[in-house]
Amino acid sequence: MLAEVSHQKSQAILKQRNMLAMLCLALVGVMLVVVMLFSAKDREVILQPILSRPMTVSSAGPTADYLELVTRDTASVILNRSPTALEYWMEQVLRVVDPGYQGRIKAELLKIVTEQKDSDVAQAFSMTGMKVDPQALTSEVTGVVTVFVGKKIIASDKRTFRFRWSYQGLSLAMVEFGEVLPKGAKEF
């Protein structure tokens, strides 16, 4: 009789254990579904203090407005420089460069810094137009580049520059920058 009661209690405990195991498996399944839903959802960040209007950045990709604002600010940093602030200029440019491209771009910037360090050559850029393509992650700025030696203007030309960007997570970073040459023009 004692063995029969013990067997019944063991069976009840086994039944409870099996039910608990099934419940645990169901909860694990629900948690996996929830994690997959949240990981696939686009993330957004609201950017406020420096913009004229509220703007969000989504993990789905940059908006044309956001790409335009980043391009405007980056072009201003890259294309306006003076010999007294070349080290700071280089640091600011490298802050917007994709880490995978920093070595190559830093080498190009170091050439400019070495070339202009002890000179009186400064450059100013006045933007006159911009085109952005958020799908291709490219943007172009057009404007007048004025080169000074001391206070004297030695050149003033209208030029177009192209930026190529990478977008990972919520981070937009520059991977390439250069002048767009007119068709038929040769690079020196």
In the prediction, which pLDDT does 185 show? Answer: 56
Handedness of CA 112, 109, 86, 79 (dihedral sign): positive
In the prediction, which pLDDT does 42 show? Answer: 63
In the prediction, which pLDDT does 157 show? Answer: 93
In the prediction, which pLDDT does 186 show? Answer: 54
By three-state DSSP, how is residue 170 classified?
A: coil
The model carries a pTM of 0.69
Instruction: Name residue 136's amino acid.
Output: A
Give the CB-side neighbour count of residue 96, counting CA atoms within 13 A.
Answer: 20
In the prediction, which pLDDT does 88 show? Answer: 92
pLDDT by residue for the chain (188 residues), tens only, comes to 677 878 888 888 888 988 999 999 999 998 988 887 777 666 665 555 555 666 677 778 888 888 888 899 999 999 999 888 899 999 999 999 999 999 999 999 999 899 888 888 899 999 999 999 999 999 999 999 999 988 899 999 999 999 999 998 778 899 999 999 877 555 44
Domain 44-180 in CATH 3.40.50.300? The answer is no
What is the radius of gyration, based on Cα positions, of the chain?
Answer: 29
By three-state DSSP, how is residue 79 classified?
A: helix
Q: What does the domain layout of the chain look like in residue ranges?
A: 1-41, 44-180
Q: At what angle do helices 64-79 and 86-95 cross, to 10 degrees?
A: 160
